[in-house]
């Protein structure tokens, strides 16, 4: 076992993938700086800086993947996907279905997601519900360095377009550049877990669409992904002080979604609280509520998610994003119902 | 008429307000990123000096000075940057998302989006406000964004009264723009039916005269123009820019990066030695390019205008003191607005 930060795990797994497979090529804005080590090691042909032309280079990834490469696109922030929506929604997602399953699009889009560092509602969205809404796309959200590397390899090995979303509060590189910029005068509510941890000596791909039970409990199931898992774990600690036993399920992948893992746990607890850093309406929280209803389980349900545009003001931002206090309160209310 | 004293006052005000914002950011009273327009005052003031009521402006992530020059109160802007409830947008937007409906002035943090917005403002002007115009501000990096290129064409096809102002500092974050751009930007605009010019943004007078001609064209229904202006930006892309830090503190900043970089250059499995050397050469060139952005007075639009002013030393000192006081007052207003324990706000 080695010890790595979240960002190191991502770069390390990507290095392994590039070493093992010549078809893996990286491109995106500023990749020579963002991936300086890979740029030096693999040269500009395989780590290529792109113009600010998201629709062109994401569309290029689709074509390149169809024609034999395994593109790994650095989109930097998931918010910028909006500029290139066609390449993903109407092209990448459709090729396999339209070709009767004969032609696939093995590409990865990596992007930072989420807020908590006061950068405003155009740079802090999570948007995984938007991606998961489209048939033909996959989206993963790791919450630990070990999962980050393992899911990254799985994403590269997968034959479908996969979004790899990286919660910015867990990364040292993105958060340093976008948040503190060398300042020691700002701090953030960074979860205690997830920023660094043990990783395997050699990366192996993790199965996509398999949730992990982070904590076993008997009274209430808390499910989510990314930052929410760390917040939920802290809330579960507080709840246990009050005699409430909560399990925490890390979905790891939003699409495919491991509904079975959630249902299995809810079967024993009878209560589900879904925590989501993405928007509330028409998203992950509603999807899991539907799964519970469809299963016929007699469960109580509550959710915490982002309701509206994320405010720039860091104080209001803190209240809009799911935090430990909100999870704790919601869980207690759910216990009383 | 070009009024050098008034233009100098405007540019100096922008500079001082942005310096005040930089100070607040350093102190941790402003969260997230901070993109300033220091070094671009000649462009911003030279163009916006021509705008009046009913004219519109679409700004990018570097729009603080643009808002100020359209007449938005400095205190309202500073408070917005700090996320305060009584800021320009109630603290909801922050510096990348400044909006003033009264001034028809909007900004966006999505690169290239000023193009379509300005076209929309211009279309509304065609219908509702004859002889009024819209100005779009963006960087040369944004010129590669599809929506901006499409906007140039749309503006030409519909004869929209738009002035597209490209502030070209040669670099988009860390990327050398010529390295990722085909052809020349003026030719590109011309190819889409928008006539253009290429000038230095250091001399506000040159910018002012060029903008006057282009805006007159737009006002008289002759359609859009494209103005490419060059500038240097000493702060880098944003405050705390890692490249600028490398230039100022090479040893401290490069130290943690050197180990991984050397190992990347030496590890087995990867590109040929020649390709690796080429990559390292480009990384060094990137840092060298950054070092050359430090404003010498020859590239400083504010100092250049100051040298050419034809007023007495006393009048100049008076003007400068007045600007300092106005900005100080705005800053004090903003600090007074901080809620109790405000220093803890961003912690
Ligand atoms: C669509 C989109 N892609 C990427 C970014 C990230 N980004 C912010 S500013 C910037 C560089 C912009 O360069 P330029 O247009 O030349 O303006 P400058 O910052 O140099 O003034 C980039 C890539 C973004 N905000 N929006």
Q: What is the pLDDT of residues A268-309, one digit of tens each?
A: 999 999 999 999 999 999 999 999 999 999 999 999 999 999
Instruction: Select the more confidently predicted residue: B253 or B31.
Output: B31
Among the partner-chain residues B91, B243, B267, the one whose CB lies closest to the CB of A313 is B91
Same domain, A183 and A222: no
Residue A230 lies in a domain: yes
Contact with chain A for residue B271, Cβ under 8 A: yes
- Has residue A111 got a pLDDT over 60? yes
Residue A206 lies in a domain: no
| Best of B34, B37, B141 for a ligand 1 pocket test (most atoms within 8 Å of beta carbon) | B141
Grade residue B93 by pLDDT with cuts at 50, 70 and 90. Answer: very high
Question: Chain A: nearest CA to B210, how far in angstroms?
Answer: 28
**What are the tens digits of pLDDT across the range A137-165?**
999 999 999 999 999 999 999 999 999 99
pLDDT mean over A10-30: 98
d(C-alpha B233, C-alpha B294), whole Å: 7
Grade residue B347 by pLDDT with cuts at 50, 70 and 90. Answer: very low
Grade residue B296 by pLDDT with cuts at 50, 70 and 90. Answer: confident
Residue A169 lies in a domain: yes
Residue A115 lies in a domain: yes
Nearest one of A52, A114, A108 to A84, comparing CA atoms: A52
First to last CA, chain A: 44
d(C-alpha B230, C-alpha B167), whole Å: 6
> What is the domain range of residue A186?
2-199
pLDDT mean over B62-75: 98
CATH architecture under which domain B4-234+312-338 falls? 3-Layer(aba) Sandwich (3.40)
What percent of chain B stands above pLDDT 90?
87
Radius of gyration of chain A (CA): 19
State how many domains chain A has. Answer: 2
What percent of chain B stands above pLDDT 70?
98
- Per-residue confidence (pLDDT) for residue B341, from 0 to 100: 57
**Prediction pTM value:** 0.96
Neighbours of B339 (CB within 10 A): 10
Neighbours of A256 (CB within 10 A): 15
Q: In sequence order, what are the beta bridge partners of A220?
A: A246
What are the chain B neighbours of A56 within 8 Å (beta carbons)?
Answer: 146
Same domain, A6 and A97: yes
Residue A205 lies in a domain: no
Say if residue B57 is exposed, middle or buried (CB neighbours under 10 Å; 0-12, 13-18, 19+).
Answer: buried
- Has residue B346 got a pLDDT over 50? no
**For the CA of B109, the nearest atom of ligand 1:** 25
By the 8 A CB rule, do B327 and B16 touch?
A: yes
Grade residue A20 by pLDDT with cuts at 50, 70 and 90. Answer: very high
**What are the tens digits of pLDDT across the range B270-288?**
999 999 999 999 999 999 9
**ipTM above 0.90?**
yes
pLDDT mean over B67-91: 98
Nearest one of B202, B192, B191, B140 to B165, comparing CA atoms: B140
d(C-alpha B212, C-alpha B220), whole Å: 12
pLDDT mean over A101-120: 97
Residue with tokens 């399953």: A101
- Per-residue confidence (pLDDT) for residue A229, from 0 to 100: 98
Cross-chain residue pair B172–A29, CB shorter than 8 Å: yes
Report residue A31 as tokens: 């990749």
By the 8 A CB rule, do B142 and B60 touch?
A: yes
Give the list of residues 6+ apart from residue A163 with CB closer than 8 angstroms, or none: A78, A108, A109, A110, A111, A128, A131, A137, A138, A139, A140
What are the chain B neighbours of A115 within 8 Å (beta carbons)?
Answer: none
Q: Is the CB of B96 under 6 A from ligand 1?
A: no
What are the chain A neighbours of B147 within 8 Å (beta carbons)?
Answer: 83
Start-end of CATH 3.40.50.970 domains in chain B: 4-234+312-338
What percent of chain A stands above pLDDT 70?
100
- Maximum distance among all Cα pairs of chain B, rounded to whole angstroms: 68
Q: How far is CA A272 from CA A222, A255, A265, in A?
A: 6, 19, 9
Residue with tokens 């790891």: A252
**Any catalytic annotation for residue A123?**
yes
Q: What are the backbone dihedrals phi and psi of residue A251, each rounded to the nearest 5 degrees, phi first? A: -65, -35
- Per-residue confidence (pLDDT) for residue B257, from 0 to 100: 87
B99-100 and A108-113 beta bridge pairing: unpaired
Residue A84 lies in a domain: yes
Name the domain boundary from A199, A227, A256: A199
Contact with chain A for residue B96, Cβ under 8 A: yes
Q: Is the CB of B109 under 6 A from ligand 1?
A: yes
CA of A12 from ligand 1 middle (Å) equals 27
Same domain, A7 and A129: yes
| Best of B33, B60, B111 for a ligand 1 pocket test (most atoms within 8 Å of beta carbon) | B111
Same domain, A149 and A92: yes
Cross-chain residue pair B111–A177, CB shorter than 8 Å: no
Report residue B170 as tokens: 């040669």
- Has residue B343 got a pLDDT over 60? no
Residue with tokens 């024993």: A268
- Has residue A50 got a pLDDT over 60? yes
Cross-chain residue pair A122–B97, CB shorter than 8 Å: yes
Cross-chain residue pair B279–A55, CB shorter than 8 Å: no
Question: Chain B: nearest CA to A270, how far in angstroms?
Answer: 38
d(C-alpha B320, C-alpha B314), whole Å: 10
Report residue B10 as tokens: 């405007």
What are the chain B neighbours of A43 within 8 Å (beta carbons)?
Answer: 270-272, 275-276, 278-279
Cross-chain residue pair A40–B345, CB shorter than 8 Å: no
Grade residue B131 by pLDDT with cuts at 50, 70 and 90. Answer: very high
pLDDT mean over A192-204: 95
Grade residue A1 by pLDDT with cuts at 50, 70 and 90. Answer: confident
pLDDT mean over B104-130: 98
The gap from C-alpha A263 to its chain's centroid, in whole angstroms, comes to 21
**What are the tens digits of pLDDT across the range B249-275?**
888 888 888 888 989 998 989 999 999
Q: Is the CB of B65 under 6 A from ligand 1?
A: no
Q: What CATH number corresponds to the domain at position A257?
A: 3.40.50.920
- Has residue A45 got a pLDDT over 60? yes
DSSP state of B10: H
Report residue B285 as tokens: 């060139």
Cross-chain residue pair A36–B257, CB shorter than 8 Å: yes
- Per-residue confidence (pLDDT) for residue B339, from 0 to 100: 85
């Amino acid at each position: 076992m080695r010890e790595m930060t979240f960002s190191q795990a991502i770069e390390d797994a990507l290095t392994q993938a590039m070493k093992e497979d010549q078809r893996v090529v990286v491109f995106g804005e500023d990749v020579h700086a963002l991936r300086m080590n890979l740029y030096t090691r693999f040269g500009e042909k395989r780590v290529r800086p792109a113009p600010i032309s998201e629709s062109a280079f994401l569309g290029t990834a689709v074509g390149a993947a169809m024609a034999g490469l395994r593109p790994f696109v650095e989109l930097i922030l998931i918010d910028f996907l909006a500029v290139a929506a066609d390449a993903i929604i109407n092209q990448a997602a459709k090729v396999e279905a339209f070709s009767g399953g004969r032609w696939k699009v093995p590409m990865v889009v990596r992007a930072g997601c989420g807020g908590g560092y006061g950068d405003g509602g155009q740079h802090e969205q999570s948007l995984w519900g938007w991606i998961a809404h489209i048939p033909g796309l996959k989206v993963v959200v790791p919450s630990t360095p070990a999962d980050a590397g393992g899911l990254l390899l799985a994403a590269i090995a997968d034959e479908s377009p996969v979004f790899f979303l990286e919660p910015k509060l867990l990364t040292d590189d993105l958060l340093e550049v976008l948040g503190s910029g060398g300042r020691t005068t700002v701090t953030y509510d960074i979860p205690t877990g997830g920023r660094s941890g043990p990783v395997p000596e050699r990366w192996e791909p993790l199965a996509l669409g398999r949730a992990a039970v982070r904590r076993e409990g008997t009274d209430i199931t808390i499910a989510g992904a990314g930052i929410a898992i760390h917040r939920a774990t802290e809330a579960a600690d507080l709840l246990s002080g009050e005699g409430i036993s909560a399990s925490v399920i890390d979905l790891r992948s939003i699409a495919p979604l491991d509904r079975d893992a959630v249902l299995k746990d809810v079967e024993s607890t009878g209560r589900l609280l879904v925590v989501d850093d993405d928007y509330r309406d028409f998203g992950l929280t509603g999807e899991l509520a539907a799964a519970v209803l469809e299963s016929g389980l007699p469960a109580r349900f509550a959710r915490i998610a982002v309701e509206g545009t994320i405010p720039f003001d860091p104080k209001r931002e803190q209240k809009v994003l799911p935090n430990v206090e909100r999870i704790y309160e919601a869980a207690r209310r759910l216990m009383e119902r | 008429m070009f009024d050098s004293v008034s233009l100098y006052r405007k540019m100096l005000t922008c500079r001082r307000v942005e310096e005040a914002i930089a100070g607040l950011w350093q102190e941790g009273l402003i969260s997230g990123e901070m993109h300033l327009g220091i070094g671009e005052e000649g462009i911003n003031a030279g163009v916006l000096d021509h705008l009046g009521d009913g004219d519109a402006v679409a700004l990018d992530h570097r729009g603080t000075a643009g808002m100020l020059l359209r007449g938005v109160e400095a205190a309202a802007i500073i408070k917005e940057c700090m996320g305060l409830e009584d800021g320009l947008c109630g603290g909801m937007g922050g510096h990348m998302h400044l909006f003033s409906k009264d001034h028809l002035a909007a900004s966006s943090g999505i690169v290239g989006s000023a193009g379509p917005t300005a076209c929309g403002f211009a279309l509304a002007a065609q219908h509702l406000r004859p002889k009024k115009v819209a100005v779009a501000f963006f960087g040369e990096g944004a010129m590669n964004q599809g929506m901006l290129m499409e906007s140039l064409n749309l503006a030409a096809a519909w004869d929209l009264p738009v002035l597209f102002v490209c502030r070209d500092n040669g670099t988009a974050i860390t990327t050398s723009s010529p390295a990722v751009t085909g052809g020349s930007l003026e030719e590109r605009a011309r190819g889409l039916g928008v006539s253009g010019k290429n000038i230095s943004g250091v001399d506000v007078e040159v910018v002012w005269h060029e903008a006057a001609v282009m805006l007159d064209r737009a006002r008289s229904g002759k359609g859009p123009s494209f103005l490419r202006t060059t500038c240097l930006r000493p702060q880098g892309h944003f405050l705390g820019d890692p490249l600028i830090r490398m230039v100022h503190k090479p040893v401290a900043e490069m130290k943690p990066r050197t180990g991984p970089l050397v190992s990347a250059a030496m590890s087995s499995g990867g590109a040929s030695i020649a390709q690796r050397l080429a990559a390292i050469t480009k990384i060094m060139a990137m840092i060298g390019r950054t070092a050359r952005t430090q404003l010498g007075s020859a590239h400083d639009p504010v100092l250049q205008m100051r040298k050419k002013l034809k007023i007495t030393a006393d009048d100049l000192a008076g003007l400068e003191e007045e600007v300092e006081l106005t900005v100080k007052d705005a800053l004090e207003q903003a600090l007074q607005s901080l809620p109790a324990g405000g220093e803890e706000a961003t912690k």
